[in-house]
Structure 1
Amino acid sequence: MRRALLLFALAAALPARAQEPTLAWPVDCRIGQDCFIEDYVDQDPEPGRQRDFACGYNARDAHRGTDIALLSFDAIDEGVAVRAAAAGRVLRTRDSMADDRLMRGVTNQNACGNAVLIDHGGGWQTMYCHLRRGSVAVRPGEPVEPGTPLGLIGLSGQTNHPHLHLTVTKDGAVVDPFRPAADPGTCGEPGETLWQDPPTYVKTGLVTAGFSTAVPEFEAIRDGSARAEYGAPALPLVVYALMAFAQQGDVLELSAAGPKGEIFRHSVVIETTQNSSFQAYGRKAPPAGWPLGEYLGEALLTRDGTVIAHRFAHIDLRP
């Protein structure tokens, strides 16, 4: 009896093993309809290369979180809520940075933009980045439950399009919620996740999209030299998109709009399943030239009417 009591006392004195948090969907949006998962945690340790948890290309080099992206800049003004993914307590917040696509004043220290950091106990934390200025709805020290409103998706910090960047950490190390038990830097078949209702993984994605002033070559798209951030009014405007693992029957829509409205909107049905392929479409400048100012391009990839990938492109036309 004394031995049993001693063992019980020792067991009671040991700290309980912290449970992994179960994550609820953190954005008020419908995945595949008005939002999608744009990028996952990068599992490739080599600089300049990227690989998601399932060995696809839906990640960016050295990316440390999950990006849930919206399909429209208008959604920022309409207000799309970000909610706590799990119960915990707010550690820190930031709510003073401007929503600025040009990322003026952004440094390594504030790249997350307006944000909320939540502690879930046992070394687990979640960080919610790029919130709209003035929208943060919680304060440090406050308890939260799954679904507690934290703020609205914005354009603060190091981002040029509206999305939530969610980072999950355990004892300071990044954990991919889609494959939490895997060794860092590895990829493979999806297994157990931290998600309460795991989103469906789609290997197909858009590696990049951009503006060019002529139909670009494949290698120029891959190495980045095709991208034009500035252009002249007399030059053509072309939007291109580089796809990974696009399947036969997928539909890619390329569009561009400027100061006077839409310039073009062009759809193409993918005819052949390929690991890597690109499409481009554009228009020659009108006789008087394009109006000066900023132009927004979009590449939207759908499968059976469901959004599986989307990228924005930007160019500024100057004299």
Structure 2
Amino acid sequence: MRALIAALIVSAAPLAAETPVLTLPIDCELGVSCFIEDYVDRDPEPGTQRDFACGLNSRDGHKGTDIALLSFDRMDEGVEVRAAAPGRVLRTRDGMADDITLQGVTDDNACGNAALIEHGDGWQTMYCHMKRGSVAVQPGDEVAAGDPLGEVGVSGQTTHPHVHLTVYRDGEVVDPFAPGDTSACDPAPDDTLWAEPPTYYKTGLMTAGFSTALPSLDEVRSGAARVTETAPGTPLVVYGHMAYPQPGDLLTITAQGPDGEEMFRQEIEVETDQVSQMRAFGRRAPSGGWPAGDYLGEALVTRDGVVIAHRNAHVTVR
């Protein structure tokens, strides 16, 4: 990723001397058709993560804000990635395949199909993982806030459709939710780059995956529960590991077969405020076994009908 940043970030004459005010860089409705999956990692120690509110909704070393769609079908329909602020396009990349197997992905192209925009006074924004062939701007183009840059895809280092937005000031990563000190762990800080700051939810999904039996929490935490390939005769179970859920939250677990047909769906209401909770649901193999192919599992957390967390899971039956 460092090589990518070095290749994209360049010096140029400033456009303005003001701090940019950001709008949502994607054409979706938060809590309905998309949600914020990961924030900038504010913990400098390797192997740990902390978002700006001292929650766990980040990944170790994550340098941006991930806004994710809820389905590949929605991605296929076409969802615009939009400029978060006015500026000038510096660099773009297109042509990388939308491939969740991550074949050919390296540190140099982990951002996938992308655009880098300068906003003046050292400010830049970068937009990653756009759909191949969708990038709609060229270096030198002037853009306004909300102008389309491309469409959400799964190019680069990702396995689900989302836009990754990184904000830079003089080449350094800036957290748009709290560009200053976050020692207070404030979920709604006054110091923010957003024109309309999105609602923060501490609740999140740490992971979701397929297993061949009902796993324990320890097995999920260690990764021992996860399978990516299995035989036709084994059970298929989808699990979701939640952090900081609240009583009344609803975890919905589903799985789809290779033909896109839903195999099972289970809604599980959270009953306690235990910080770390795992739930799972699945089915035994039918007579004759599961058809060969790729299966998609999903774990979705809603609160009073608002989507606050979502994770995909993948397994191949051979």
- TM-score scaled by structure 1? 0.92
Is the 2:49–2:59 Cα contact (8 Å) retained in structure 1? Answer: yes
Q: Percent identity, aligned pairs only?
A: 63
Please name the residue that 2:87 is paired with: 88
**Is the aligned partner of 1:275 residue 2:272?**
no
Please name the residue that 1:8 is paired with: none
Please name the residue that 1:144 is paired with: 143
Please name the residue that 1:50 is paired with: 49
Please name the residue that 1:223 is paired with: 222
CA shift at 1:16, angstroms?
A: 11
Q: Counterpart of 1:246 in 2: which secondary structure?
A: coil
**Is the aligned partner of 1:262 residue 2:262?**
yes
**Is the aligned partner of 1:182 residue 2:181?**
yes
Q: Counterpart of 1:75 in 2: which secondary structure?
A: helix
Alignment of 1:1-319 (within 5 A): 18-182=17-181, 188-189=185-186, 190-191=188-189, 192-260=191-259, 261-318=261-318
Q: Which runs of 4+ in 1 moved over 4 A?
A: none
CA change 1:218–1:187 in 2 (3 A) is farther
Is the 2:251–2:268 Cα contact (8 Å) retained in structure 1? Answer: yes
Q: Counterpart of 1:182 in 2: which secondary structure?
A: coil
Q: Deviations over 1:78-134 (max 9, x none)?
A: 110011011110000001101111111111000000000001111110000000111
Consecutive unaligned residues of structure 2, counting only runs of 5 or more, are 1-13
Letter in 1 for 2:313: A
Letter in 1 for 2:224: S
Consecutive unaligned residues of structure 1, counting only runs of 5 or more, are 1-14
Take 1:133 and 1:55, find their aligned partners in 2: how far apart are those partners? Answer: 35
Take 2:80 and 2:169, find their aligned partners in 1: how far apart are those partners? Answer: 25
Q: Counterpart of 1:49 in 2: which secondary structure?
A: coil
Is the 2:41–2:58 Cα contact (8 Å) retained in structure 1? Answer: yes
Take 1:221 and 1:18, find their aligned partners in 2: how far apart are those partners? Answer: 49
Is the 1:43–1:187 Cα contact (8 Å) retained in structure 2? Answer: no
Take 1:281 and 1:16, find their aligned partners in 2: how far apart are those partners? Answer: 53
Q: Counterpart of 1:202 in 2: which secondary structure?
A: coil
Q: Deviations over 1:156-196 (max 9, x none)?
A: 1011100000000111111000000127xx56114111000
Take 1:83 and 1:264, find their aligned partners in 2: how far apart are those partners? Answer: 35
CA shift at 1:273, angstroms?
A: 1.3
CA change 1:264–1:142 in 2 (3 A) is same
Letter in 2 for 1:229: T
Is the 2:70–2:310 Cα contact (8 Å) retained in structure 1? Answer: yes
Is the 1:53–1:187 Cα contact (8 Å) retained in structure 2? Answer: no
Take 1:94 and 1:76, find their aligned partners in 2: how far apart are those partners? Answer: 19
Is the 1:294–1:315 Cα contact (8 Å) retained in structure 2? Answer: yes
Is the 2:16–2:120 Cα contact (8 Å) retained in structure 1? Answer: no
Q: Deviations over 1:255-293 (max 9, x none)?
A: 111124211000011111121111011111112111111
- Provide the alpha-carbon RMSD of the alignment: 1.5
Aligned residues: 302
Is the 2:15–2:121 Cα contact (8 Å) retained in structure 1? Answer: no
Q: Counterpart of 1:267 in 2: which secondary structure?
A: strand
CA change 1:16–1:68 in 2 (3 A) is closer
Letter in 2 for 1:282: G
Is the 2:15–2:119 Cα contact (8 Å) retained in structure 1? Answer: no
Q: Counterpart of 2:251 in 1: which secondary structure?
A: strand
Q: Deviations over 1:226-281 (max 9, x none)?
A: 11111111111000010011000000000111124211000011111121111011
Q: Counterpart of 2:225 in 1: which secondary structure?
A: coil
